[in-house]
Amino acid sequence: MDKSIKELFDLSGKVAIVTGGAQGIGKGIALRLAEAGASIVVSDINLESAQATVAEMKKTHFKAVAVKSDTSKVADAERTVQEAIEAFGDLDILVNNAGIYPFASTESMTEGIWDKTIDINLKGIMFFTQAAARAMIAKGHGGKIVNIASVDGFHPTGNLLSYDASKGGVVMLTKALAKDLAGKGINVNAIAPGAIVTPGASGGLSGMSKEQIDAVTKAFLATIPMGRQGTPDDIGRVALFLASEAADYMTGSVVVADGGYLVG
């Protein structure tokens, strides 16, 4: 063993971009990477929210900047990477977290819903990864890329057709990128979260009464062997592992963090 556990998880001097990092899973990941010593670029389409997260992080003396970016736009991917390098001098880690999950059945699906979901959830990962990989290669070192997939990439929830298709795509794109970039020293892995308590997920229950929400929650918890929903920090911890030297021999893997939902 050439390094201690503390050394393996030390991200001091590393620079990370977290897309959709202003809240929810993205924020949970950003906080853990920052705690390990990384300088963080909180990339989000909501700049005000990203700035609030950065302000919170700086109170703990974490190094962070906020960047407004739309993951569906290739130009924003390139600009975000450049802003990371301008702010901190390098780029070592990319976490592709930004995503949307509009509800729509087969009958109600529209071209607009489909295209927007695929553009943000799948196209965004491709081109943010491309921009990050080019920067890492130009700097003469490898890096770590972590994609946020979903259990929906393996098991459809229902009425989330575009989301499920996009996350299935993320699983395979992760493997394809891993194979393509392994020779460049860039590890590409994914996390497939299950039900995570986030502001966005809570918004999906808006319009329901407390009794209805309680009933839905109880029924859903019955499908999770561990008996609870996850937290953003549950995913943040896995992301820290995949971004660290502890995962140096992993690439093309999808780590499921779902409380046992898929095996339940």
**Which residues are designated catalytic?**
163
Q: Are 239 and 29 in contact (CB under 8 A)?
A: yes
- Of 26, 62, 60, 64, whose CA–CA distance to 44 is shortest? 26
**Residue 95, Cβ density class (10 Å: 0-12 exposed, 13-18 middle, ≥19 buried):** buried
CA end-to-end distance (rounded Å), the chain: 37
- CA 154 to CA 171: how far, in whole Å? 9
Confirm if 95 and 243 have CB atoms less than 8 A apart: yes
For the CA atoms of 12, 68, 120, 31, the dihedral, rounded to the nearest 10 degrees, stands at 30
Report the candidate in 238, 243, 240 with the shortest Cα–Cα distance to residue 255: 238
Residue 176 near residue 117 (C-beta atoms within 8 A): no
For residue 148, with 0-12 CB atoms within 10 Å meaning exposed, 13-18 middle and 19 or more buried, which class applies?
Answer: buried
What is the strand order of the sheet 143-148 is part of? 64-68, 39-44, 15-19, 93-96, 143-148, 186-193, 254-257
Residue with tokens 């989301």: 163
